Amino acid sequence: MTATETLSLINAKYTASAVRADQYPAGDYAEIALIGRSNVGKSSLINSLCRHGGLARTSGSPGKTQTLNFYTVTLKTGEEGRHPFFLVDLPGYGYARVGRESRRQWAQFIDAYLSSSPRLGMVCQLIDIRHPPMDSDIEALRRLKELGQKIQVVATKADKISRMAVRKHCEIIRRDLGLGPEARIIPYSAPSGAGREELLDEFKQILLK
Ligand SMILES: Nc1nc2c(ncn2[C@@H]2O[C@H](COP(=O)(O)OP(=O)(O)OP(=O)(O)O)[C@@H](O)[C@H]2O)c(=O)[nH]1
Ligand SMILES: [Mg+2]
């Protein structure tokens, strides 16, 4: 058994929804946020990480999550360690069917959060493993870097391609996002939970700092 196998998320519960700073929940818990295109699997990732199917609402059609949704979750490390934090589910970007004006509003609302939350310890950027990153992904990553955020790229829906293809597609994502060889890209499958240990290990690095 490896050390990472002792990590799990417990006591997950929905805490608050927000579209403005005065609606963010109080407290000094660190935050880990998930961003990505609509339908990439952000809400599904939260449910899978927490092993709690009904925690975050998911949908087959894009645009399901419309507010910042805060979940209070505890990272359990071994027998003793308990590290509560907020997992923050964000609305997706790049949703083609909404007009430019509402995309702009989206950008402002998310940007306000990403640039002003002092508790934000890491942003997980989700990319669908089947497709190369799109302009909206590249733009979002550029903005996160500009804000100095710690970024973890997660390649979602890994169960939709062969194991052989997973590695190759991760390298395409790395190349197109302009990430160096040291950047870790974590393939994830929400239905199977593959990638959970690796991602929780990254959470641990942030939460135990
Ligand atoms: N096969 C497979 N399907 C997935 C995976 N993750 C998400 N899905 C499916 O993809 C669809 C969208 O998932 P959501 O989690 O709602 O996506 P989202 O990024 O939260 O979408 P918005 O809230 O609209 O921004 C749903 O039909 C999920 O069941 C995965 O790892 N594997
Ligand atoms: Mg969602």
Q: Is the CB of 121 under 6 A from ligand 1?
A: no
pLDDT tens across 52-94, in order?
989 988 888 777 677 899 999 999 998 899 999 999 999 888 7
HSE on the CB side for 28, CA within 13 Å?
0
Q: Is 5 a residue whose pLDDT tops 60? A: no
- Residue closest via CA to ligand 1's atom 16 equals 58
Q: Is 149 a residue whose pLDDT tops 70? A: yes
Mutate to test the pocket of ligand 1, among 44, 59, 68, 126 (most ligand atoms within 8 A of CB): 44
**Residue 151 and residue 125 in contact, taking contact as beta carbons nearer than 8 Å:** yes
Q: Is 29 a residue whose pLDDT tops 50? A: yes
Q: Is 153 a residue whose pLDDT tops 70? A: yes
Q: Is the CB of 58 under 6 A from ligand 1?
A: yes
Q: Is 147 a residue whose pLDDT tops 80? A: yes
DSSP 27: S
Give me the mean pLDDT over the 145-158 stretch. Answer: 96
Residue 62 Cα distances to 55, 98, 123, 202, angstroms = 18, 10, 21, 28
Q: Is the CB of 194 under 6 A from ligand 1?
A: no
Residue 90 Cα distances to 14, 117, 131, angstroms = 14, 14, 21
Whole-number pLDDT of residue 66 = 77
Q: Which tops the pLDDT comparison, 20 or 7?
A: 7
SS3 assignment, position 51: coil
Give distance in angstroms: CA of 18 to centre of ligand 2: 14
Give distance in angstroms: CA of 53 to centre of ligand 2: 13
Whole-number pLDDT of residue 1 = 43
Q: Alpha-carbon torsion 49, 133, 88, 2, what sign?
A: positive
DSSP 65: -
**Residue 97 and residue 64 in contact, taking contact as beta carbons nearer than 8 Å:** no
Token duo for residue 70: 């805060």
pLDDT band at 7 (very low <50, low <70, confident <90, very high): very high
Going along the chain from its start, the domains and CATH numbers come out as 3-207 (3.40.50.300)
Give the C-alpha separation, 187 to 105, whole Å: 31
**Residue 187 and residue 129 in contact, taking contact as beta carbons nearer than 8 Å:** yes
Which neighbouring-strand residues pair with 154? Answer: 126, 186
